[in-house]
Structures are given as C-alpha cells and as structure tokens.
Structure 1
C-alpha cells in the first residue's frame, strides 16, 4: 500500500492547519471549526486506522488549500464547500470521533469562541 498522501491530502500540514484556524476560525464559524477539529483530533488518535486518516487528511487538506470551489473570502458562502467536504469525511469516519475527541474539541472551541464581554459601564 502506498503511504504517500494523495489528492488534497498532499496539501495538509499541521502548521498550515493551525495557521488557517488561528487566522480564520471566527470567519469560518463554529460549525466548520468544530468539524475540522473533530477530524484533526481523530487523525492524531492511534485508534484511527490508516484508511480513515487518509480520508481525514484529504478533507483537512481541502480545508487549508488556498484555492477551492468557493473562495473562503466570499461573504456568507465562502466556507460552504469546506463544510460539505468536512461533513462527508465525518460521515465516513464517524465511528472514530470519540467522546474524548468531542470533549477536547469543546475545550478548544471554548477558548477560541469565548464570548466577548459586554461593557456595562457606558451609558446607552
């Protein structure tokens, strides 16, 4: 079996993934980031088989690839294609998205999407 990444899997890198999320997490939105993190953490698990990691890295590679079907900078719809690709990968590997992975994702999401404090010391 060929261990070399294929297709968009070649575009995946841990650095590129962290950069994209660090820069665009809020723009991508909660749902896209949550699914991307589920997949990312599942790929790190030793319990996830190689075939599933291949599907995951392909989807995450598409997510970080600078050119995609709908440009990410397009208002409102920019991450729609990314969400579709991530959702398809999740449907394929869902049995490897454990409660531990969901908890880890929830903790990360809590840090990244913490509510902005409302200032109450200023008059209306």
Structure 2
C-alpha cells in the first residue's frame, strides 16, 4: 500500500481490518451480507463487488489485493468516520476509501472482475 492510502486509516481501523481479514470465510460472509442489505442504496455497489472479485483473484498481485481488501474491510467494519445510518452522508466515507483504492490499482481490476460484479448485482 502506498503511504498516502495507508494514512487514511487510523491505527484502530487498521487493527480491526487485520482482525477481520484473518478469517477470510467470515469476512466474505460479512461483506456479502452487508452488501445485500445496502446494495440498492449505494451507487458504488458494483465497483465494490468488482474490487472484491479482483481481491479474491489469485492472479492479482499481493499489494493490489491488500489495498482492495483494506477498502472492502472499511466498508464492512462497524467503525466508521461517518455512521452509515445517516441518510445521504452515511456511505460517503466508504465511497471515498473505495475510490482511492480503485484509483491506486485501477489497472488490476479487469473486465472479467467487472462482469462478475455485474452478474452478482443482478442476483442481489
């Protein structure tokens, strides 16, 4: 991760991300469960899924995977700069973190990842 991206997370947030990523199955379940609950309310749901599929792809470089998993982890974490319950503002911090992560690794998210995301959105 670049220093600029890494510095967007507090020490407490990074510790929570590391804890949640240790159990990949639980993390995936939490991610998909949360996404299902809010997918219709957030305009960046398909990008979030594309990032998830890219991070889960074994061909994705480790640095890219960690960057994307940190962004997805921030979406899943209950610790949030702006509480997600606030109408209109709740997911802006999540969107900003995801946008920064995607910008940092944009070339790694392939059309295959985007197509998987589109299919998954249709199933939600």
**TM band (smaller chain):** 0.7 to 0.9
Question: How far off is 1:111 after superposition?
Answer: 2.6
DSSP-derived class of the 2:32 partner: helix
Instruction: Spell out structure 1 runs of 4+ moving beyond 3 A.
Output: none
Point out the more displaced range, 8-17 or 101-110: 8-17
Question: How far off is 1:60 after superposition?
Answer: 0.8
Higher helix share: 2
Structure 2 counterpart of 1:15 = 29
Specify every segment of 5 or more residues in structure 1 that has no aligned partner in the other structure, as ranges: 1-5, 113-124
CA-based RMSD: 1.6
C-alpha distance in 2, partners of 1:107/1:98? 14
Scaled by the length of structure 2, the TM-score of the pair is 0.77
How many pairs align? Answer: 105
Scaled by the length of structure 1, the TM-score of the pair is 0.77
Match of 1:81 among 64, 87, 93: 93
